[in-house]
Amino acid sequence: MRPAAIWTIWLTAASMAVAAFGLFLVLVPTLALQGFSLLVYGDPGRLQALGGEAARYISLAHAVLGAVMLGWGLMLVAVVQRLLAHGSKLGWQLVAGSLALWFVPDTAYSLISGYWQNAVLNIGFALLFAVPLAATWRPCRRAPLLPLASGHRAL
């Protein structure tokens, strides 16, 4: 049983948004630095005011994070299109599991360290995935881990 196409389209778009945000962090580090400075401090120049070396290091951290998000987002697109769209339980588990493994520690650390604004941003990203994952759970939960190809047995 395959999930409705709307949900795989939605998950693909959300995954592409993760990749696009990652690419943004890599390609325009100064704008990303200003954006996070505005998000956290309400002032787009606050992080740059820390000084050249500190601002460059924060930009490096954003670029590395962006590269990871780009790779993760593109991997999510492949999993959604190749597995989850065909009703694969493994596909659903990979998407949901990778989101949980990002969301829980990232959001917890954001809250513990006092940067609740990042936790709010995380909730926005998580909601992009929560609705279609909830909608695709039923068709994927009883499926074999991988969709059957002719001549192959279920995992």
Question: pLDDT digit string (tens) for 94-151?
Answer: 999 999 999 999 999 999 999 999 999 999 999 999 999 999 999 998 876 665 554 4
- The maximal CA–CA distance of the chain, rounded, in angstroms, is 63
Question: In this structure, are residues 25 and 65 in contact, taking their beta carbons and an 8 Å threshold?
Answer: yes
CA 72 – CA 19 distance, rounded (Å): 7
Instruction: Identify the CA nearest to 46 among candidates 83, 122, 114, 38.
Output: 38
How far CA 128 is from CA of 28, 61, 106, in Å, comes to: 24, 24, 17
Question: In this structure, are residues 89 and 144 in contact, taking their beta carbons and an 8 Å threshold?
Answer: yes
Amino acid (one-letter) located at 141: R
**In the chain, pLDDT over 90 holds for what percent of residues?**
69
Instruction: Identify the CA nearest to 35 among candidates 17, 47, 27, 26.
Output: 47
pTM for the complete prediction?
0.86
Question: In this structure, are residues 5 and 135 in contact, taking their beta carbons and an 8 Å threshold?
Answer: no
CA 86 – CA 146 distance, rounded (Å): 9
Task: Report DSSP state, residue 4.
Answer: P
Reported confidence tier of residue 153, pLDDT bands at 50, 70, 90: very low
Q: Give residue for tokens 């299109």.
A: 81
Query: What pLDDT sits at residue 39?
Result: 86
Question: In this structure, are residues 135 and 3 in contact, taking their beta carbons and an 8 Å threshold?
Answer: yes
